[in-house]
Structure 1
């Protein structure tokens, strides 16, 4: 994948799980386990069947991972 193909994470708005997993290389099961353990941000319900994540929360998580801090102790 070259630079032109690399997705850029937005810092505003909301992301669905499919979009989040383009930036955080884990599977759905690992993602949900990370939420339960407090390592990943909790989703926000938009409706009875629609959950989203704050783009800023995901950007902050990516920054922490890039700085070598890992995805531990997520604070809302």
Structure 2
């Protein structure tokens, strides 16, 4: 798993990747597909840090990757 930390949080671009910043995707879906999956319960719910910042727990993303 692309050197994920043991604990902590990930921003959306760290999960779905960002070609401009050279960040490879952990889960190769587009931003709207990610948010639709969160809404439908396929992907874990995020943690709101502020009105414009949502993060996801590393352990939940690791579990999602292993289940795929």
**TM-score computed with the length of structure 2 as normaliser:** 0.79
Mark the structure with the bigger radius of gyration: 1
Query: Which one has a larger percent helix, Structure 1 or Structure 2?
Result: 1
Spell out structure 1 runs of 4+ moving beyond 6 A.
none
Shift of 1:18: 0.3
Query: Which one has a larger percent strand, Structure 1 or Structure 2?
Result: 2
Gaps of 5+ in 2: 17-24
Gaps of 5+ in 1: 1-5, 66-76
Alpha-carbon RMSD across the aligned residues, in angstroms, is: 1.4
Shift of 1:38: 0.5
Secondary structure at 2:15 match in 1: helix
**TM-score computed with the length of structure 1 as normaliser:** 0.71
Q: What is the CA deviation profile of residues 13-61 of structure 1, one whole-angstrom value per residue up to 9, with x for unaligned ones?
A: 0000000112001000110110111000111011222110000000000
Question: Which residue pairs with 1:63 in the alignment?
Answer: 66
Change over 3 Å in CA distance of 1:20–1:43 after alignment to 2:
same
